Amino acid sequence: MFTGIGPFSISIAKEHIVKIYAIDINPDAYNYLKENIKLNKLKGTVIPLIGDVEEVLSGLNIKSDRIIMNLPGTAWSFLDIAIKSLKPGGVLHYYEFASEFQIPIDKIIETAYPRKVEVINRRKVKSKSPGIWHMGIDARIY
């Protein structure tokens, strides 16, 4: 989700034999993503998709092993469709601007309910403003 020009997608597909659906709503990002797919020698496959993640995912009807959500301001509003699109035991890589880890973790647990959530990693990516961090939470959702 929110792939931009594909930094996560391209880096992963360069090293691994994978199939990645890379979605962004911005036409410029989508065009550079397609360029990046051509320029980099990928082991895996990156499928570029343009549009709103909710609409694209609803149309695709796929279940993923992993979903990356690096849109820290508003990713919370796409948690529902992300969790619905995740296989049982799949991993969510979720980013949010927050003051403490428990805030994004609670949102994931609440949205995933009654599915069980196991937080497997949490990190401060960088400072956003005083007391607020760009945080990453990796959670396995059963």
Ligand X SMILES: C[S@@+](CC[C@H](N)C(=O)[O-])C[C@H]1O[C@@H](n2cnc3c(N)ncnc32)[C@H](O)[C@@H]1O
Of 19-27, 99-107, 112-120, 121-129, which segment contacts ligand X by CB under 6 A?
19-27
**Least distance (Å) from ligand X to the CB of residue 41?**
21
Binding flag, residue 2, ligand X (CB under 6 A): yes
Q: DSSP 3-state assignment of 50? A: strand
Binding flag, residue 23, ligand X (CB under 6 A): yes
CA distances from 112 to 42, 44, 81, 102 (A): 33, 29, 10, 15
In the sheet that holds 86-98, the strands lie side by side as: 64-69, 86-98, 132-141, 117-129
Tokens at 48, concatenated: 């570029």
Q: Which of 12, 53, 57, 67 binds ligand X (CB under 6 A)?
A: 53
Indicate the residue among 4 and 90 with the shorter CB distance to ligand X.
4
User: Is there a contact between 117 and 139 (Cβ–Cβ < 8 Å)?
Assistant: yes
Binding flag, residue 69, ligand X (CB under 6 A): no
- Which residues make up the interface to ligand X (CB under 6 A)? 2-4, 7-8, 23-26, 29, 52-53, 70-71
